[in-house]
Chains A and B, each alone.
Chain A
């Protein structure tokens, strides 16, 4: 490698962004994701109407005029409900994925670096949890304790932890044998230091990619549960309940289905693109190889 191949020092995040925007796929993903996240974050300012305010006289209007995407059977503004629905979707997805990453990291690193018996125990736990089908498990729990946002979050998180945990465990196991870990040990680094300074940063990258790809799944799950009436409680707006309304009213107006479905599709596309692009970018060694 020659000296001229180097860029000046740039922060890790800056470096990732720099390469991300040069990949058309990454740029598209980044834009879509930014729009979704921003509209969810600023929902109270973006949404023109109160998403749960009834306005029966204006019910089932088509797009245009005062209502950008029309209204539903109770006269609620569909566009406002889509925006607020996004907020609900992310309110479910982010803590779910965040929690899954946290516990996945914790358990995965312990399993990957710790003694063998502990590894076997944690893997057994992962396999047990994973053997439950997520949707069925969620339905069962919701049926038991009643539908609520928190229940949905906890159930999806619990069933996602093994996925992350297994990835972390495998990565940790291979890193543990890497020569730089031996080198750190030979300098006298403690286990805590090896885990936090040398293993954690190296498993985080692949995990972020996994998480980005996983967000649409969780959003879809939440929508699915809400569609079945097992997710968030009405009248809270959700893309799933929008779809459900649209399904029931398909003969009256097709717009509700489109309004509920489009954001789901966009979310999936956006996060998948972003995840795909991130995959090439998070590993510093791969940077600049693919995206020329």
Chain B
């Protein structure tokens, strides 16, 4: 059974111009002990998706349809109190900016003890667990560092502390929202490596959101590519990155300057802009920017099967199958 199962999720925001359809029919699942990456550029709906999973949505957001199941139980039907019990225990999060996720006036130790309020342990035991967690994420001399304040740690250290805190309750699902974007490249590699080790140790599943394709390739087992509020492709990292089936995924991979081996002064781009999500275009959402556009694209493509674990929403796949 998958840890997280999202089925046909649609979310809209009420705006003065009309409904902004931020997510439309999004389905994805995070299997047990797997790391699933979500890739997409700004405006693809990543943040809306996360806020829907943890049920902390903007006041003008509405879930139009769909279901989100955590270990088989529907999240969307839970009461606010039940949901609060779930957050931090079954689902935890690591955010992008490590400089702002901690309370600046409390010591790290105090914050790490506080988040164990659910456990009936003595304060000494909680402190011991906190120190153990810090050691696990690779912070040297954890006992002493528990007495320090967040500002006494560097950005990389703070992100590790954030990860330690998120994993403290041994959650079933860790959602990491661009956790390495604010860090330097050499620290990014360190954090990713550590995250991979921790995942094996703690045995949780990770939903990892990033716009950095290289990081996803390095860390994740599976990847979901999102564009303008829809899932356009999903599958194992190897399948999707080696054999991208959707033109958007292909274009995205082509654009990554790290991917281009030959030195060039003319880098590939994806011409055009993301469509207006209030007045959606007919048919395929990517058609306006696609170099493989043809007549069939006037109709919205269904998710087609490339192989049993690799799917993409493009008419060309069906064509290839019948041919």
Contacts and interface: CB of A to CB of B under 8 A. Distances in A.
Interface of A: 2-5, 288, 292
B60 A5 contact: no
Contacts of B17: 4-5
A2 B16 CA distance: 13
A288 B17 CA distance: 12
Instruction: Tell me the interface secondary structure of chain B in the complex.
Output: loop
Interface residues of B, number: 7
Given A4-B17, A5-B17, A292 B276 contact: no
B12 to A, nearest CB: 15
A292 B278 contact: no
B60 A4 contact: no
A288 B277 CA distance: 19
Closest 6 CB pairs of A and B: A2-B276, A4-B17, A4-B276, A292-B16, A4-B278, A292-B60
Contacts of A292: 16, 60
Contacts of A288: 16
Interface of B: 16-17, 60, 276-279
A3 B278 CA distance: 12
Nearest to A5: B17
A5 B276 CA distance: 10
12 contacts: A2-B276, A2-B277, A2-B278, A3-B276, A4-B17, A4-B276, A4-B278, A4-B279, A5-B17, A288-B16, A292-B16, A292-B60
Contacts of A5: 17
A19 to B, nearest CB: 12
A281 to B, nearest CB: 16
A3 B17 CA distance: 12
A292 B59 CA distance: 11
B306 to A, nearest CB: 32
A280 to B, nearest CB: 16
A4 B60 CA distance: 19
Contacts of B278: 2, 4
Given A4-B17, A288-B16, A292-B16, 5 more contacts: A2-B276, A2-B277, A2-B278, A3-B276, A292-B60
Nearest to A1: B43
A232 to B, nearest CB: 49
A7 to B, nearest CB: 11
A4 B16 CA distance: 11
| Residue among A2, A3, A5 having the largest count of chain B Cβ atoms under 10 Å | A2
A292 B17 CA distance: 11
B178 to A, nearest CB: 20
A68 to B, nearest CB: 44
A215 B110 CA distance: 46
| Residue among A3, A288, A292 having the largest count of chain B Cβ atoms under 10 Å | A292
A160 B17 CA distance: 44
Nearest to B17: A4
Contacts of A2: 276-278
B276 to A, nearest CB: 5
B280 to A, nearest CB: 12
Contacts of B60: 292
A89 B278 CA distance: 51
B227 to A, nearest CB: 15
A127 to B, nearest CB: 27
| Residue among A3, A4, A288 having the largest count of chain B Cβ atoms under 10 Å | A4
Contacts of A3: 276
B25 to A, nearest CB: 21
A288 B15 CA distance: 10
Contacts of B279: 4
Nearest to B18: A4
A199 to B, nearest CB: 27
A95 to B, nearest CB: 41
A243 to B, nearest CB: 45
Nearest to B60: A292
A4 B279 CA distance: 10
